[in-house]
Amino acid sequence: MNPMQLSEATLAQARAAVARPGYVRETCRVGWLHFGLGAFHRAHQAYYADRLLEQDPRWAISAVALHSSGVRDALASQDDLYCLVELAETAQLRVIGALREILVAPREQPAVFARLEGPETRLVTLTVTEKGYCLDGDGRLDLEHPDIVHDLRADGEVRSVIGFLAEGLRRRRARGAAPFVVVSCDNLPDNGPTLRAAVAAFAAEHDPALARWIEQEVSFPRTMVDSITPATDANLIARVRAESGLYDAWPVQRERFTQWVIEDVPAARIADWDAVGVTLTRDVSVYDRAKLRVVNGAHSALAYVGLLRGHATVAEAMRDPQLAHYVECLLCEEVAPSLRTSGALDIAVYIEATLERFRNPSIRHQLAQIAWDGSKKLPVRLLPSIVEALSAGRPFARLALALAAWMRFVIGRARAGGELTDPHALRLLALGRACTDVPEQDVARFLGLEDVIPRTLSAVPQFETAVTEAYRMLGASGARLGTERE
Ligand code: CS2
Protein backbone atom coordinates (compact mmCIF):
# COMPACT_ATOMS: atom_id res chain seq x y z
CA MET A 1 0.00 0.00 0.00
CA ASN A 2 1.43 3.34 -1.02
CA PRO A 3 -0.58 6.06 0.69
CA MET A 4 1.04 8.75 -1.39
CA GLN A 5 0.73 7.19 -4.82
CA LEU A 6 0.28 9.56 -7.71
CA SER A 7 -3.39 9.93 -8.76
CA GLU A 8 -5.96 12.62 -9.44
CA ALA A 9 -6.61 12.80 -5.71
CA THR A 10 -2.96 13.27 -4.69
CA LEU A 11 -1.73 15.32 -7.63
CA ALA A 12 -2.06 18.56 -5.74
CA GLN A 13 0.40 17.25 -3.18
CA ALA A 14 3.24 16.85 -5.66
CA ARG A 15 6.14 19.20 -4.96
CA ALA A 16 5.78 22.64 -6.51
CA ALA A 17 8.53 22.10 -9.09
CA VAL A 18 6.60 19.26 -10.69
CA ALA A 19 4.76 20.42 -13.82
CA ARG A 20 1.20 19.10 -14.07
CA PRO A 21 -1.50 18.98 -16.70
CA GLY A 22 -2.56 22.52 -17.58
CA TYR A 23 -6.12 21.48 -18.43
CA VAL A 24 -9.12 19.81 -16.87
CA ARG A 25 -8.87 16.12 -17.64
CA GLU A 26 -12.58 15.36 -17.26
CA THR A 27 -13.49 17.69 -20.10
CA CYS A 28 -11.03 16.11 -22.54
CA ARG A 29 -12.26 13.86 -25.32
CA VAL A 30 -10.46 10.95 -26.90
CA GLY A 31 -9.57 11.84 -30.49
CA TRP A 32 -6.29 10.00 -30.76
CA LEU A 33 -5.72 6.26 -30.69
CA HIS A 34 -2.23 4.92 -30.16
CA PHE A 35 -0.85 1.40 -30.64
CA GLY A 36 2.20 0.34 -28.65
CA LEU A 37 2.31 1.44 -25.05
CA GLY A 38 6.06 1.48 -24.54
CA ALA A 39 8.14 4.11 -22.78
CA PHE A 40 8.78 5.97 -26.01
CA HIS A 41 5.12 6.68 -26.59
CA ARG A 42 4.61 7.87 -23.06
CA ALA A 43 7.71 10.08 -23.23
CA HIS A 44 7.11 11.47 -26.69
CA GLN A 45 3.69 11.52 -28.38
CA ALA A 46 1.82 11.63 -25.07
CA TYR A 47 3.94 14.62 -24.06
CA TYR A 48 2.89 16.45 -27.24
CA ALA A 49 -0.74 15.44 -26.64
CA ASP A 50 -0.44 16.82 -23.13
CA ARG A 51 0.61 20.15 -24.55
CA LEU A 52 -2.08 20.12 -27.25
CA LEU A 53 -4.69 19.50 -24.58
CA GLU A 54 -3.78 22.79 -22.96
CA GLN A 55 -5.53 24.51 -25.85
CA ASP A 56 -7.74 21.90 -27.46
CA PRO A 57 -9.69 19.26 -25.48
CA ARG A 58 -10.03 16.85 -28.41
CA TRP A 59 -6.61 15.25 -28.16
CA ALA A 60 -6.77 12.89 -25.22
CA ILE A 61 -5.29 9.48 -26.06
CA SER A 62 -6.69 5.99 -25.89
CA ALA A 63 -3.57 3.82 -25.80
CA VAL A 64 -3.58 0.20 -26.88
CA ALA A 65 -1.07 -2.24 -25.43
CA LEU A 66 -0.65 -4.98 -28.02
CA HIS A 67 0.61 -7.69 -25.72
CA SER A 68 1.07 -7.09 -22.04
CA SER A 69 -1.19 -5.54 -19.45
CA GLY A 70 1.82 -4.40 -17.38
CA VAL A 71 1.53 -0.65 -17.91
CA ARG A 72 -2.25 -0.69 -17.63
CA ASP A 73 -2.07 -2.54 -14.34
CA ALA A 74 0.63 -0.23 -13.01
CA LEU A 75 -1.24 2.94 -13.92
CA ALA A 76 -4.74 1.73 -13.00
CA SER A 77 -4.60 3.06 -9.46
CA GLN A 78 -3.02 6.30 -10.71
CA ASP A 79 -5.93 7.29 -12.98
CA ASP A 80 -3.46 6.71 -15.84
CA LEU A 81 -1.32 9.61 -14.66
CA TYR A 82 2.43 9.14 -14.68
CA CYS A 83 5.58 11.15 -14.35
CA LEU A 84 7.88 12.04 -17.23
CA VAL A 85 11.40 12.91 -16.11
CA GLU A 86 13.30 15.10 -18.54
CA LEU A 87 16.93 14.28 -17.91
CA ALA A 88 19.39 17.14 -17.77
CA GLU A 89 21.73 18.62 -15.22
CA THR A 90 18.61 19.68 -13.35
CA ALA A 91 15.89 17.21 -14.22
CA GLN A 92 12.37 18.45 -14.86
CA LEU A 93 9.47 16.31 -13.63
CA ARG A 94 6.17 16.55 -15.43
CA VAL A 95 2.96 14.68 -14.75
CA ILE A 96 1.36 13.64 -18.03
CA GLY A 97 -2.43 13.46 -18.11
CA ALA A 98 -2.97 12.77 -21.82
CA LEU A 99 -3.77 9.06 -21.47
CA ARG A 100 -7.49 8.76 -20.81
CA GLU A 101 -7.87 5.08 -21.46
CA ILE A 102 -5.59 2.07 -21.74
CA LEU A 103 -6.81 -0.97 -23.62
CA VAL A 104 -5.06 -4.34 -23.73
CA ALA A 105 -5.61 -5.61 -27.26
CA PRO A 106 -5.81 -9.35 -26.67
CA ARG A 107 -8.60 -8.90 -24.12
CA GLU A 108 -10.43 -5.84 -25.33
CA GLN A 109 -10.80 -6.11 -29.06
CA PRO A 110 -14.35 -4.71 -29.23
CA ALA A 111 -13.25 -1.58 -27.36
CA VAL A 112 -10.28 -1.15 -29.70
CA PHE A 113 -12.53 -1.48 -32.74
CA ALA A 114 -15.08 0.91 -31.24
CA ARG A 115 -12.32 3.51 -31.06
CA LEU A 116 -11.12 2.76 -34.59
CA GLU A 117 -14.67 3.00 -35.88
CA GLY A 118 -15.74 6.11 -34.01
CA PRO A 119 -15.57 9.28 -36.12
CA GLU A 120 -14.20 11.24 -33.14
CA THR A 121 -10.96 9.25 -33.55
CA ARG A 122 -9.09 11.39 -36.05
CA LEU A 123 -5.53 10.34 -35.47
CA VAL A 124 -4.00 6.87 -35.06
CA THR A 125 -0.33 6.68 -34.17
CA LEU A 126 1.98 3.69 -33.75
CA THR A 127 5.14 2.86 -31.83
CA VAL A 128 5.31 -0.88 -32.32
CA THR A 129 9.05 -1.09 -33.18
CA GLU A 130 10.45 -2.30 -36.48
CA LYS A 131 9.30 -5.86 -35.96
CA GLY A 132 5.69 -4.83 -35.30
CA TYR A 133 5.19 -4.08 -39.00
CA CYS A 134 5.56 -7.75 -40.02
CA LEU A 135 7.65 -6.86 -43.06
CA ASP A 136 9.87 -9.12 -45.12
CA GLY A 137 13.47 -8.38 -46.09
CA ASP A 138 12.30 -6.13 -48.93
CA GLY A 139 10.18 -3.99 -46.63
CA ARG A 140 6.86 -5.43 -47.84
CA LEU A 141 4.19 -7.12 -45.77
CA ASP A 142 5.31 -10.66 -44.99
CA LEU A 143 2.27 -12.74 -45.82
CA GLU A 144 3.93 -15.70 -44.13
CA HIS A 145 4.45 -13.92 -40.82
CA PRO A 146 2.58 -15.99 -38.21
CA ASP A 147 0.56 -12.99 -36.97
CA ILE A 148 -0.44 -12.03 -40.50
CA VAL A 149 -1.34 -15.63 -41.37
CA HIS A 150 -3.41 -15.69 -38.20
CA ASP A 151 -5.14 -12.36 -38.85
CA LEU A 152 -5.92 -13.22 -42.46
CA ARG A 153 -7.80 -16.27 -41.28
CA ALA A 154 -10.26 -13.68 -40.03
CA ASP A 155 -11.81 -15.69 -37.25
CA GLY A 156 -12.60 -12.45 -35.48
CA GLU A 157 -9.53 -12.15 -33.31
CA VAL A 158 -6.71 -9.85 -34.41
CA ARG A 159 -3.08 -9.91 -33.29
CA SER A 160 -1.11 -7.59 -35.53
CA VAL A 161 -1.36 -3.84 -35.73
CA ILE A 162 -1.64 -4.27 -39.50
CA GLY A 163 -4.75 -6.40 -38.96
CA PHE A 164 -6.23 -3.81 -36.59
CA LEU A 165 -5.69 -0.96 -39.01
CA ALA A 166 -7.07 -2.85 -42.02
CA GLU A 167 -10.17 -3.98 -40.15
CA GLY A 168 -10.64 -0.58 -38.50
CA LEU A 169 -10.49 1.13 -41.88
CA ARG A 170 -12.85 -1.45 -43.38
CA ARG A 171 -15.43 -0.69 -40.71
CA ARG A 172 -14.96 3.04 -41.12
CA ARG A 173 -15.48 2.78 -44.85
CA ALA A 174 -18.52 0.52 -44.41
CA ARG A 175 -20.13 3.23 -42.26
CA GLY A 176 -19.35 5.87 -44.82
CA ALA A 177 -17.17 7.69 -42.29
CA ALA A 178 -14.02 9.60 -43.22
CA PRO A 179 -10.81 7.68 -42.47
CA PHE A 180 -8.48 8.59 -39.64
CA VAL A 181 -4.93 9.74 -40.32
CA VAL A 182 -2.32 7.07 -39.59
CA VAL A 183 1.06 8.20 -38.31
CA SER A 184 3.81 5.64 -37.87
CA CYS A 185 6.26 6.83 -35.23
CA ASP A 186 8.80 4.06 -35.67
CA ASN A 187 12.33 4.26 -36.98
CA LEU A 188 11.69 3.02 -40.50
CA PRO A 189 12.62 4.85 -43.66
CA ASP A 190 9.51 6.18 -45.41
CA ASN A 191 7.52 4.89 -42.48
CA GLY A 192 4.18 6.29 -43.71
CA PRO A 193 4.20 4.85 -47.25
CA THR A 194 5.71 1.59 -45.96
CA LEU A 195 2.86 1.20 -43.50
CA ARG A 196 0.25 2.19 -46.07
CA ALA A 197 1.56 -0.45 -48.48
CA ALA A 198 1.52 -3.09 -45.73
CA VAL A 199 -2.06 -2.29 -44.65
CA ALA A 200 -3.24 -2.19 -48.27
CA ALA A 201 -1.52 -5.51 -49.02
CA PHE A 202 -3.28 -7.07 -46.06
CA ALA A 203 -6.65 -5.68 -47.16
CA ALA A 204 -6.07 -6.83 -50.75
CA GLU A 205 -6.05 -10.44 -49.63
CA HIS A 206 -9.80 -10.30 -48.99
CA ASP A 207 -11.07 -7.06 -50.41
CA PRO A 208 -9.26 -5.38 -53.33
CA ALA A 209 -11.69 -2.46 -53.29
CA LEU A 210 -10.79 -1.74 -49.68
CA ALA A 211 -7.11 -1.91 -50.59
CA ARG A 212 -7.65 0.68 -53.31
CA TRP A 213 -9.56 2.92 -50.91
CA ILE A 214 -6.69 2.69 -48.42
CA GLU A 215 -4.19 3.55 -51.15
CA GLN A 216 -6.22 6.50 -52.39
CA GLU A 217 -8.13 7.92 -49.46
CA VAL A 218 -6.18 7.29 -46.28
CA SER A 219 -3.30 9.55 -45.30
CA PHE A 220 -0.16 7.97 -43.89
CA PRO A 221 2.20 10.95 -43.55
CA ARG A 222 5.88 10.22 -43.06
CA THR A 223 7.36 11.20 -39.73
CA MET A 224 10.61 11.45 -37.90
CA VAL A 225 10.57 11.07 -34.13
CA ASP A 226 13.55 11.56 -31.88
CA SER A 227 14.21 11.55 -28.16
CA ILE A 228 16.51 9.22 -26.29
CA THR A 229 14.39 7.23 -23.86
CA PRO A 230 16.23 4.87 -21.53
CA ALA A 231 14.11 2.10 -20.04
CA THR A 232 12.53 2.69 -16.64
CA ASP A 233 14.47 1.18 -13.76
CA ALA A 234 14.33 1.11 -9.97
CA ASN A 235 16.51 4.24 -9.78
CA LEU A 236 13.97 6.21 -11.73
CA ILE A 237 11.12 5.09 -9.50
CA ALA A 238 13.12 6.08 -6.41
CA ARG A 239 14.10 9.38 -7.95
CA VAL A 240 10.51 10.29 -8.80
CA ARG A 241 9.44 9.45 -5.29
CA ALA A 242 12.19 11.58 -3.78
CA GLU A 243 11.78 14.53 -6.11
CA SER A 244 8.00 14.67 -6.45
CA GLY A 245 6.98 13.41 -3.04
CA LEU A 246 4.68 10.85 -4.69
CA TYR A 247 5.11 7.21 -5.60
CA ASP A 248 4.67 6.44 -9.29
CA ALA A 249 4.57 2.73 -10.19
CA TRP A 250 5.84 3.26 -13.74
CA PRO A 251 7.32 6.64 -14.60
CA VAL A 252 9.27 7.23 -17.82
CA GLN A 253 12.38 9.22 -18.63
CA ARG A 254 13.93 10.82 -21.66
CA GLU A 255 16.51 13.41 -22.55
CA ARG A 256 15.21 16.97 -22.62
CA PHE A 257 15.73 17.17 -26.38
CA THR A 258 12.73 15.96 -28.31
CA GLN A 259 11.78 16.27 -31.94
CA TRP A 260 8.78 15.33 -34.05
CA VAL A 261 8.60 16.08 -37.75
CA ILE A 262 5.43 15.22 -39.66
CA GLU A 263 4.92 15.34 -43.40
CA ASP A 264 2.83 18.35 -44.26
CA VAL A 265 -0.14 16.85 -46.05
CA PRO A 266 -3.62 18.36 -45.69
CA ALA A 267 -4.91 15.49 -43.55
CA ALA A 268 -2.10 16.01 -41.05
CA ARG A 269 -3.18 19.56 -40.30
CA ILE A 270 -5.75 18.49 -37.78
CA ALA A 271 -4.10 19.99 -34.72
CA ASP A 272 -2.07 23.07 -33.93
CA TRP A 273 1.19 21.17 -34.14
CA ASP A 274 3.21 24.31 -34.46
CA ALA A 275 2.09 25.53 -31.06
CA VAL A 276 3.53 22.45 -29.36
CA GLY A 277 6.82 22.31 -31.20
CA VAL A 278 6.03 19.71 -33.87
CA THR A 279 7.46 20.57 -37.30
CA LEU A 280 5.29 20.09 -40.38
CA THR A 281 7.32 19.93 -43.58
CA ARG A 282 6.88 18.77 -47.15
CA ASP A 283 10.18 16.88 -47.15
CA VAL A 284 10.53 14.57 -44.18
CA SER A 285 13.13 12.43 -45.93
CA VAL A 286 15.87 14.96 -45.17
CA TYR A 287 15.15 14.41 -41.48
CA ASP A 288 14.36 10.73 -41.40
CA ARG A 289 17.41 9.64 -43.37
CA ALA A 290 19.66 11.76 -41.17
CA LYS A 291 18.01 10.50 -37.99
CA LEU A 292 18.19 6.84 -38.97
CA ARG A 293 21.74 6.92 -40.22
CA VAL A 294 23.28 9.35 -37.73
CA VAL A 295 21.44 8.90 -34.42
CA ASN A 296 20.29 5.30 -34.81
CA GLY A 297 23.21 4.13 -36.96
CA ALA A 298 25.75 5.47 -34.47
CA HIS A 299 23.72 4.07 -31.57
CA SER A 300 23.80 0.56 -33.01
CA ALA A 301 27.52 0.83 -33.82
CA LEU A 302 28.23 2.02 -30.26
CA ALA A 303 26.05 -0.72 -28.83
CA TYR A 304 27.76 -3.68 -30.51
CA VAL A 305 31.32 -2.39 -30.43
CA GLY A 306 30.80 -0.92 -26.96
CA LEU A 307 29.44 -4.14 -25.48
CA LEU A 308 32.39 -6.07 -26.93
CA ARG A 309 34.67 -3.57 -25.22
CA GLY A 310 32.94 -4.11 -21.89
CA HIS A 311 30.89 -0.92 -21.68
CA ALA A 312 27.33 -0.76 -20.37
CA THR A 313 25.93 2.64 -21.35
CA VAL A 314 26.18 5.08 -24.24
CA ALA A 315 27.77 7.82 -22.13
CA GLU A 316 30.34 5.34 -20.81
CA ALA A 317 31.14 4.19 -24.34
CA MET A 318 31.59 7.83 -25.36
CA ARG A 319 34.13 8.29 -22.57
CA ASP A 320 36.26 5.61 -24.21
CA PRO A 321 38.53 7.79 -26.39
CA GLN A 322 39.07 5.17 -29.11
CA LEU A 323 35.41 4.37 -29.36
CA ALA A 324 34.41 8.04 -29.40
CA HIS A 325 36.95 8.64 -32.16
CA TYR A 326 35.66 5.63 -34.08
CA VAL A 327 32.05 6.76 -33.95
CA GLU A 328 32.90 10.32 -34.89
CA CYS A 329 34.90 9.16 -37.93
CA LEU A 330 32.14 6.72 -38.82
CA LEU A 331 29.63 9.56 -38.94
CA CYS A 332 31.77 12.25 -40.52
CA GLU A 333 33.62 10.16 -43.08
CA GLU A 334 31.31 7.28 -43.94
CA VAL A 335 27.75 8.35 -43.14
CA ALA A 336 27.69 12.12 -43.78
CA PRO A 337 28.65 11.89 -47.48
CA SER A 338 25.41 9.99 -48.14
CA LEU A 339 23.28 12.74 -46.59
CA ARG A 340 22.39 16.09 -47.99
CA THR A 341 22.71 19.29 -46.06
CA SER A 342 19.73 21.51 -46.70
CA GLY A 343 18.38 24.76 -45.36
CA ALA A 344 16.52 22.70 -42.80
CA LEU A 345 19.40 20.55 -41.67
CA ASP A 346 23.14 21.06 -41.63
CA ILE A 347 24.62 17.58 -41.38
CA ALA A 348 27.88 18.61 -39.72
CA VAL A 349 25.99 20.50 -37.03
CA TYR A 350 23.56 17.60 -36.67
CA ILE A 351 26.38 15.12 -36.12
CA GLU A 352 28.04 17.31 -33.52
CA ALA A 353 24.74 17.79 -31.69
CA THR A 354 24.10 14.04 -31.77
CA LEU A 355 27.50 13.23 -30.29
CA GLU A 356 26.87 15.81 -27.59
CA ARG A 357 23.58 14.08 -26.75
CA PHE A 358 25.39 10.75 -26.53
CA ARG A 359 27.92 12.24 -24.12
CA ASN A 360 25.21 13.50 -21.76
CA PRO A 361 26.24 12.11 -18.35
CA SER A 362 22.72 12.53 -16.94
CA ILE A 363 21.47 9.71 -19.15
CA ARG A 364 22.11 6.05 -18.41
CA HIS A 365 21.09 4.56 -21.73
CA GLN A 366 21.93 0.86 -21.73
CA LEU A 367 23.80 -0.42 -24.77
CA ALA A 368 22.06 -3.76 -24.24
CA GLN A 369 18.71 -2.04 -24.82
CA ILE A 370 19.90 -0.58 -28.12
CA ALA A 371 21.35 -3.97 -29.13
CA TRP A 372 17.86 -5.50 -29.21
CA ASP A 373 16.36 -6.49 -32.53
CA GLY A 374 19.57 -6.03 -34.51
CA SER A 375 18.27 -8.10 -37.41
CA LYS A 376 15.52 -5.51 -37.92
CA LYS A 377 17.52 -2.40 -37.07
CA LEU A 378 20.76 -2.88 -39.02
CA PRO A 379 19.08 -3.08 -42.44
CA VAL A 380 17.64 0.40 -42.00
CA ARG A 381 20.39 2.01 -39.94
CA LEU A 382 23.71 0.82 -41.38
CA LEU A 383 23.19 -1.02 -44.65
CA PRO A 384 21.86 1.94 -46.67
CA SER A 385 25.02 3.93 -45.86
CA ILE A 386 27.13 0.95 -46.94
CA VAL A 387 25.21 0.50 -50.19
CA GLU A 388 25.66 4.15 -51.06
CA ALA A 389 29.33 4.18 -50.08
CA LEU A 390 29.93 1.13 -52.27
CA SER A 391 28.26 2.59 -55.29
CA ALA A 392 30.10 5.89 -54.90
CA GLY A 393 33.44 4.17 -54.31
CA ARG A 394 33.77 5.66 -50.83
CA PRO A 395 35.29 3.92 -47.77
CA PHE A 396 33.00 2.01 -45.42
CA ALA A 397 35.38 0.06 -43.17
CA ARG A 398 33.88 1.48 -39.98
CA LEU A 399 30.36 0.65 -41.05
CA ALA A 400 31.57 -2.87 -41.84
CA LEU A 401 33.10 -3.02 -38.37
CA ALA A 402 29.74 -2.23 -36.77
CA LEU A 403 28.14 -5.03 -38.73
CA ALA A 404 30.92 -7.46 -37.79
CA ALA A 405 30.53 -6.41 -34.15
CA TRP A 406 26.85 -7.38 -34.34
CA MET A 407 27.93 -10.84 -35.59
CA ARG A 408 30.43 -11.17 -32.73
CA PHE A 409 27.74 -10.03 -30.29
CA VAL A 410 25.29 -12.68 -31.52
CA ILE A 411 27.98 -15.37 -31.33
CA GLY A 412 28.89 -14.25 -27.82
CA ARG A 413 25.28 -14.58 -26.71
CA ALA A 414 24.96 -17.97 -28.37
CA ARG A 415 28.10 -19.32 -26.72
CA ALA A 416 27.14 -17.99 -23.32
CA GLY A 417 23.84 -19.80 -23.67
CA GLY A 418 22.24 -16.42 -23.17
CA GLU A 419 19.09 -14.96 -24.56
CA LEU A 420 18.78 -12.69 -27.50
CA THR A 421 15.98 -10.19 -27.90
CA ASP A 422 15.36 -10.36 -31.61
CA PRO A 423 12.49 -11.59 -33.77
CA HIS A 424 14.98 -14.00 -35.36
CA ALA A 425 16.55 -15.00 -32.04
CA LEU A 426 16.30 -18.76 -32.48
CA ARG A 427 17.77 -18.72 -35.94
CA LEU A 428 20.53 -16.31 -34.94
CA LEU A 429 21.50 -18.25 -31.83
CA ALA A 430 21.71 -21.49 -33.83
CA LEU A 431 23.84 -19.72 -36.41
CA GLY A 432 26.02 -18.27 -33.66
CA ARG A 433 26.56 -21.70 -32.14
CA ALA A 434 27.62 -23.07 -35.51
CA CYS A 435 30.36 -20.46 -35.95
CA THR A 436 33.91 -21.70 -35.50
CA ASP A 437 36.00 -18.51 -35.56
CA VAL A 438 37.07 -19.00 -39.13
CA PRO A 439 36.27 -15.47 -40.32
CA GLU A 440 35.43 -16.33 -43.95
CA GLN A 441 33.07 -19.10 -42.89
CA ASP A 442 31.42 -17.28 -40.01
CA VAL A 443 30.80 -14.12 -42.03
CA ALA A 444 29.48 -16.18 -44.95
CA ARG A 445 26.96 -17.75 -42.59
CA PHE A 446 25.65 -14.36 -41.51
CA LEU A 447 25.65 -13.03 -45.04
CA GLY A 448 23.36 -15.90 -45.90
CA LEU A 449 20.58 -14.27 -43.83
CA GLU A 450 18.82 -12.90 -46.85
CA ASP A 451 16.04 -11.21 -44.94
CA VAL A 452 18.64 -9.22 -43.00
CA ILE A 453 21.33 -8.60 -45.60
CA PRO A 454 19.91 -8.46 -49.12
CA ARG A 455 21.52 -10.68 -51.71
CA THR A 456 22.35 -7.64 -53.82
CA LEU A 457 24.70 -6.52 -51.06
CA SER A 458 26.03 -9.81 -49.70
CA ALA A 459 27.03 -10.86 -53.22
CA VAL A 460 29.39 -7.89 -53.62
CA PRO A 461 32.90 -9.30 -53.02
CA GLN A 462 34.24 -5.98 -51.74
CA PHE A 463 31.54 -5.95 -49.08
CA GLU A 464 32.20 -9.49 -47.97
CA THR A 465 35.93 -8.81 -47.81
CA ALA A 466 35.47 -5.68 -45.70
CA VAL A 467 33.15 -7.39 -43.22
CA THR A 468 35.44 -10.42 -43.00
CA GLU A 469 38.43 -8.17 -42.38
CA ALA A 470 36.55 -6.29 -39.64
CA TYR A 471 35.38 -9.55 -38.11
CA ARG A 472 38.92 -10.90 -38.07
CA MET A 473 40.20 -7.75 -36.42
CA LEU A 474 37.54 -7.78 -33.72
CA GLY A 475 38.22 -11.39 -32.88
CA ALA A 476 41.96 -11.22 -32.90
CA SER A 477 42.19 -8.03 -30.90
CA GLY A 478 39.47 -8.38 -28.28
CA ALA A 479 37.56 -5.52 -29.93
CA ARG A 480 40.51 -3.19 -30.22
CA LEU A 481 39.80 -0.63 -32.86
CA GLY A 482 41.90 -0.06 -35.97
CA THR A 483 44.19 2.67 -34.73
CA GLU A 484 44.95 1.16 -31.33
CA ARG A 485 48.15 -0.54 -30.40
CA GLU A 486 48.58 -3.77 -28.55
C1 CS2 B 1 17.87 3.52 -30.13
C2 CS2 B 1 16.63 4.36 -30.30
O3 CS2 B 1 17.14 1.63 -28.92
C4 CS2 B 1 17.55 2.05 -30.00
O5 CS2 B 1 17.74 1.29 -30.94
O6 CS2 B 1 18.73 3.76 -31.20
O7 CS2 B 1 15.62 3.97 -29.47
C8 CS2 B 1 16.94 5.84 -30.11
O9 CS2 B 1 17.31 6.12 -28.79
C10 CS2 B 1 15.77 6.69 -30.49
O11 CS2 B 1 15.39 6.40 -31.79
C12 CS2 B 1 16.12 8.16 -30.35
O13 CS2 B 1 15.12 8.90 -30.88
The per-residue pLDDT for range 414-445, each reduced to its tens digit, is 999 989 999 999 999 999 999 999 999 999 99
pLDDT over 70 at 1, yes or no: no
- pLDDT tens across 86-131, in order? 998 899 999 999 999 999 999 999 999 999 999 999 999 999 999 9
Phi, psi of 68 (to 5 degrees): -100, 155
Is the CB of 7 inside a 6 Å radius of any atom of ligand 1?
A: no
Assign 485 a pLDDT band (cuts: 50, 70, 90): very low
Specify the DSSP class assigned to residue 230.
Answer: P
Mean pLDDT on 130-138 = 94
State residue 484's pLDDT score.
54
**Distance, CA of 412 to CA of 405 (rounded, Å):** 10
Assign 477 a pLDDT band (cuts: 50, 70, 90): low
Phi, psi of 459 (to 5 degrees): -85, -5
State residue 476's pLDDT score.
66
Specify the DSSP class assigned to residue 135.
Answer: B
Mean pLDDT on 208-229 = 98
The fold for domain 285-477 equals: N-(1-d-carboxylethyl)-l-norvaline Dehydrogenase; domain 2 (1.10.1040)
Q: Which atom of ligand 1 is nearest to the CA of 381?
A: 6
State residue 481's pLDDT score.
76
State residue 3's pLDDT score.
57
**Distance, CA of 49 to CA of 97 (rounded, Å):** 9
Residue 251 and residue 84 in contact, taking contact as beta carbons nearer than 8 Å: yes
* Percentage, residues of the chain above pLDDT 70: 98
Specify the DSSP class assigned to residue 346.
Answer: -
| Helix and strand numbers, DSSP H then E, in the chain | 22, 11
Q: Which CATH superfamily is domain 11-282 in?
A: NAD(P)-binding Rossmann-like Domain (3.40.50.720)
Label residue 219 exposed, middle or buried (CB < 10 Å: 0-12, 13-18, 19+). middle
Using CA positions, which residue lies closest to atom 2 of ligand 1?
Answer: 296
The stretches of 153-284 forming alpha helices (DSSP H) are 161-174, 191-204, 208-217, 234-244
**Distance, CA of 18 to CA of 199 (rounded, Å):** 41
- pLDDT tens across 305-344, in order? 999 999 999 999 999 999 999 999 999 999 999 998 888 8
Is the CB of 226 inside a 6 Å radius of any atom of ligand 1?
A: yes
Is the CB of 369 inside a 6 Å radius of any atom of ligand 1?
A: yes
Q: Where are the domains of the chain?
A: 11-282, 285-477
The pTM for the full model equals 0.95
Residue 404 and residue 301 in contact, taking contact as beta carbons nearer than 8 Å: no
Mean pLDDT on 396-407 = 98
Using CA positions, which residue lies closest to atom 10 of ligand 1?
Answer: 228
The DSSP bridge partners found for residue 259 are 226
Is the CB of 228 inside a 6 Å radius of any atom of ligand 1?
A: yes
Reported for 144-150, long-range contacts at CB under 8 A and 24+ positions apart, including other chains, are 148/202
Mean pLDDT on 219-232 = 98
- With H, G, I as helix, E, B as strand and everything else as coil, classify residue 102: strand
**Distance, CA of 303 to CA of 330 (rounded, Å):** 14
Mean pLDDT on 230-235 = 96
Q: Which atom of ligand 1 is nearest to the CA of 259?
A: 13
| Ligand 1 centroid distance, CA of 101 (Å) | 26
Assign 137 a pLDDT band (cuts: 50, 70, 90): confident
Using CA positions, which residue lies closest to atom 4 of ligand 1?
Answer: 370
Phi, psi of 441 (to 5 degrees): -75, -40
Mean pLDDT on 387-400 = 97
Q: What is the CA radius of gyration of the chain?
A: 23
Neighbours of 93 (CB within 10 A): 22
| Ligand 1 centroid distance, CA of 370 (Å) | 7
Between vectors from CA 375 to CA 369 and to CA 381, what angle results, nearest 5°?
80
Assign 171 a pLDDT band (cuts: 50, 70, 90): very high
